[in-house]
Every structure is written in structure tokens, then in C-alpha cells.
Copies of this chain bind each other. A is one copy, B any other.
Amino acid sequence: MFIAMNRFRVARGSEEAFEALWLNRDSHLDGVPGFVAFKLLRGPTAEDHTLYASHSSWESQAAFAAWTESDAFRAAHRQARGGPKVDYLGHPVLETFETIQEMP
């Protein structure tokens, strides 16, 4: 399994707007070939930001790459730009992983 993780440092006070942006948009992931699962995770809060991570799981790296070049991807990201104002500390950081062990 291939996992793409995006890490967002959301400025303190912007958490509600950030969560609303994700909860209210259509991800356009349903039915995308090779898409397995998606999670949005809220992590630790530091003095100036709260860490969030989005995880999307794919059957393969190729399925993820194809999605990033698809109309569904563009449609999902276009919406995000029209949402509530969110302040970030820096750009999101994308890290990609391969599963090497899994249970159950």
C-alpha cells in the first residue's frame, strides 16, 4: 500500500476554519481508481500552531500519481481556495510512504 501524508502547520486560532474547510468540501476521491482510504488527523498543539496530517492510501504509487494529474484532483483543490481564510505556518509538507508491515 502507498500512503501520501500531507502535514499542515495551522496557526493558532485558525483550527476551526481549517477543519470546516475539510469537512465541508467534496474530496472527489470516491470512485478514483486505486483509491483506498482517507483520514484527516489532528495532532499536537504547540505555542504557535496545531499540526494536522492528511493521509490518503492508494493501491500503488502509480494510482496516487495519476490522481494528482486528474480532473478530480483539480476540482477538489479549486474548492479549497474558495473556503474560509486559514493562516498557516509555512507550506504543507508532503511525505510519501510504502507499507512494509501491517496488522491485523
Contacts and interface: CB of A to CB of B under 8 A. Distances in A.
Interface of A: 3, 5, 19, 22-23, 27, 29-30, 37-44, 51, 53, 95-104
11 contacts: A23-B101, A27-B103, A30-B103, A30-B104, A37-B102, A37-B104, A38-B101, A40-B100, A40-B101, A42-B98, A43-B97
A39 to B, nearest CB: 5
Contacts of A39: 99, 101-102
Nearest to A103: B38
A41 B98 contact: yes
Given A27-B103, A42-B98, 20 more contacts: A3-B41, A5-B53, A22-B100, A22-B101, A29-B103, A30-B103, A30-B104, A37-B103, A37-B104, A38-B101, A38-B103, A39-B99, A39-B101, A39-B102, A40-B100, A40-B102, A41-B97, A42-B97, A43-B96, A51-B95
